[in-house]
A = this chain, B = another copy of it.
Amino acid sequence: MKRKITLKQIARELDVSISTVSKALSNSKEISEDTTKKIQAFAKLYNYKPNNIALSLKNRKTKTIGILIPEIVHHFFSTVIRGIELIANRRGYNVIVGLSNESFTKEIINMEMLANGSIDGFILSISKETLLKQDYHHFNATINQGMPIVMFDRVVSEVDCDKVIVDDFNGAVKAVKKLVDNGCKNIALITTMDYVSVGRLRTQGYLEALGTSGIDANSNLILKIDDSLDVENHLDDLENEIAQFFKINENIDGVFAVNELYAVTAMKVARKLGLNIPNDVQVIGFTDGVLSKHATPSLTTVSQHGQKMGEQAANLLIDRLEAIDAESDQYFTNDERKSDFIKVVIETEIIERESTK
């Protein structure tokens, strides 16, 4: 077991100074061709690779970006990570992930753990608990320390930073319009509580689409699921709730659900009630994941393009990091530096499958 070799060891072995070795390896023309070749050969032989930590310390940047998300066993979030990793790697960055598990405290702990030099910037999506508390001081604090943040999907106007969001509102509008165009008269909405902004926006899109289609919104047709409890492990509760909903509203001929789990469950319930999909009731869900693709019938969805979101977020962050780099040469007053933050909106797309006509 031979540990990694360092400049110092090469220098000692070849009887030159550390600086000579360093320069030779970077092909500096300060060093003669002879010694350069000798050193490079030796370095290659012993498989020398510069130590990242030492470089990070010297350059005061780590070339790694921190991802902080609520949950990783989740199709959308993992897609985003894939996008981030793709771009990050391509541009020479590493990715370190922290999971908030939807908890305010874990979010803070994780941020502090990473903000102390481990990373150059954050890409994050806010936890539910944080959204509920509306306490965003930790975000602003780390931004004030000079660490850039890019938020995606679950964002908040109280924090000034770059953002990548999906057009929840228009996505919902498109979906509901499609149901209307397909002949649905009584379109139900299955959504979450309002504090998660994406749920709220999708609900607004639903209402908007009904309005412009000349259909009166009927509050009986809106089902708000309390997702503060762990839905995944209380599937039958969810099923029962939706079943009740269907029994009370027998006239439902279209369903728009704000996520695919609700949509798939709605399909399941409807079929148990003897309804045919898509003939008796058509269903569209938000979030295009594995479930939608492989359900029977397969589910028409509003795709969020998670990977694209991740790619955009990564590009935004790295662009900003490199801008800061370039900036540090010049002199800027605080006002000049106060850049305008970018908000990228990813367009949604309807993916038609078997659950609609």
Binding site for B on A (CB under 8 A): 1-4, 49-54, 56-57, 62, 64, 72-75, 78-79, 81-82, 85, 89, 94-99, 110, 112-118, 144-146, 232, 235, 261, 264-265, 267-268, 271, 289-291, 293-296, 334, 337
CB < 8 Å neighbour of A82 from B49, B79, B99: B99
User: Does B72 contact A94, Cβ atoms closer than 8 Å?
Assistant: no
A144 with B53: CB separation less than 8 A: no
A49, B112: Cβ atoms closer than 8 Å: yes
Please indicate the chain B residues that have their CB under 8 angstroms from the CB of A115 in the complex: 49
Q: Are A85 and B56 in contact (CB under 8 A)?
A: no
Among candidates B1, B50, B79, residue contacting A73 with C-beta atoms closer than 8 Å: B79
- The winner among A2, A54, A73 for most chain B CB atoms within 10 A is A73
* Chain B residues whose CB sits within 8 angstroms of the CB of A1 once the complex forms: 144-146, 334, 337
Given contacts A1-B145, A296-B296, 13 further A-B contacts (CB under 8 A): A4-B146, A49-B112, A50-B116, A52-B118, A53-B56, A64-B96, A72-B78, A73-B78, A81-B97, A85-B98, A85-B99, A264-B294, A295-B296
Measured between beta carbons, the chain B residues less than 8 angstroms from A57 are 53-54, 57
**Residues of chain B contacted by A64 (CB below 8 angstroms):** 96, 118
Cβ contacts A to B, 5 pairs, < 8 Å: A51-B117, A82-B99, A94-B118, A96-B96, A289-B290
B94 touches A114 (CB 8 A): yes
Asked if A116 and B81 make an inter-chain contact with CB atoms under 8 angstroms apart, the answer reads no
